[in-house]
Amino acid sequence: MKALDRWVLHCDLDAFFAAVEQLDHPELRGRPVIVGGDPESRGVVATCSYEARRYGVRSAMPLAQARRLCPHAVFLPVRRERYVQVSRQVFAILARETPVIEPVSIDEAYLEVAGDGPAVAARLRAAVRREVGLAMTVGVAHNRLVAKIACELAKPDGLKVIRPEEAEAVLAPLPVRMLPGLGPAAAARLARVGIETLGQLAAADPVLIRRLFKSRGPELQERARGRDLRPVGLQAPVRSFSEERTFPRDLPAARLLPELARLCEELGGRLRRDGYRATTITLKARFPDFTTITRSRSLPRPVADDATLFAVARELLEHHVPARQPLRLLGVAASGLVHARDPQQLSLWRDDERRLRLAAAVDRVRARYGSDAIGLAARLLGRRTAGGRATP
């Protein structure tokens, strides 16, 4: 066995919100618990206990459907403050073992540890169980990818170690969907050429895989073999997105709003493309004398639609930049990001799905007809038709 002095641990609390509810309300232990809100509402399941999962209930499923599958479940609202409090307790325990922690979400993190990784994992699981009262599954491996897969295989309440020399063999029989980041569309494309498992993907003709996935192909095959060089911590989740423009000459006040709208549209497009929503919007303005100000506002829920980004940025502009003031530079940034594919994370805020569907429709029009074809900047500029430039 090869000696390893550096291990990656993927730590994930099991059914986190539901587990906290069962911890705080012992009478709910052993019962199907669904956190997400009133089943009469149009909301979705944020987390459900393993007892509910036996009935087919899953995260992100509409609550009404969850109730049809499991009518006797206990439905509970999301208690954000409490989950954040418990999460902090758990992260404090993780921090005892290593300073290299990369949080993925409220209940999930990658750790890099020196020394005996499997022993550290066992200690952490015991400490979280004893001091917080929750089950935490840990995957242990030599890289992030394999640690994450080990964790998936070990759930719930498990610990799995995959050593470097066994990684390729352990991954080979798994369905391709087990590869983090490989979505249903990619899996369907692979199924059409007869590739169902990671072993088949790894062994497939590179030319074929490149035809299916373009430049992503070689990396995908490396990952199917369990290879992943991304270090923990340095691959930290994106913290902010920003768009700014320096003008060739000071932009007169009358043209600031259309410019701001365009920046917000670009920012919104990037957020949506990468699946993020923002809870803080920051405006940046540089005056002709080079004085620069940044002013931020936090929002009650995560947003990624152009209209809201613009409304907030505009308010900041009108509030903090004197009327009739020309500017050298204008910028807008989005931070406090939440990933849109994490139902647990999203449920911590209330979200307006309709707005986002609208924004997605606008993105599709822009992709076809160009960025000025539709939207806020187009309206403010008084344009109705595309400028002919197609944006990728």
The yes or no reply on residue 12 touching Mg ion (CB under 5 A) is yes
Stretch that binds Mg ion, among 6-14, 194-202, 271-279, 362-370 (CB under 5 A): 6-14
Of the listed 97, 108, 112, 243, which one is catalytic?
108
Report the nearest approach of Mg ion to the CB of residue 105 (Å): 8
| Cβ count near 229 (within 10 Å) | 9
Between 136 and 190, name the residue whose CB sits nearer to Mg ion: 136
Instruction: For strands 276-286 and 240-251, give the pairing.
Output: unpaired
Report the nearest approach of Mg ion to the CB of residue 23 (Å): 14
Coil vs helix vs strand at 145: helix
Structure token digits, residue 162: 């995959």
| Rounded distance between C-alpha atoms, residue 221 and residue 218, angstroms | 5
Coil vs helix vs strand at 302: strand
Nearest residue to 241 via CA among 307, 314, 332: 332
Cβ contact 276:345 at 8 Å: no
The yes or no reply on residue 342 touching Mg ion (CB under 5 A) is no
Q: Decide if 108 is catalytic.
A: yes
What is the 8-class DSSP label of residue 370?
Answer: -
The yes or no reply on residue 107 touching Mg ion (CB under 5 A) is yes
Nearest residue to 167 via CA among 123, 102, 239, 226: 226
Between 12 and 372, name the residue whose CB sits nearer to Mg ion: 12
Stretch that binds Mg ion, among 5-13, 22-30, 165-173, 262-270 (CB under 5 A): 5-13
Coil vs helix vs strand at 34: strand
Stretch that binds Mg ion, among 101-109, 121-129, 145-153, 193-201 (CB under 5 A): 101-109
Between 107 and 243, name the residue whose CB sits nearer to Mg ion: 107
**Buried b or exposed e, range 368-383, using 16+ CB within 10 angstroms:** ebbbbbbbbbbebbee
Stretch that binds Mg ion, among 8-16, 166-174, 242-250, 366-374 (CB under 5 A): 8-16
Report the nearest approach of Mg ion to the CB of residue 107 (Å): 4
Between 12 and 243, name the residue whose CB sits nearer to Mg ion: 12
Q: Enumerate the active-site residues.
A: 108
- Residues at the interface with Mg ion (CB under 5 A): 12-13, 16, 107
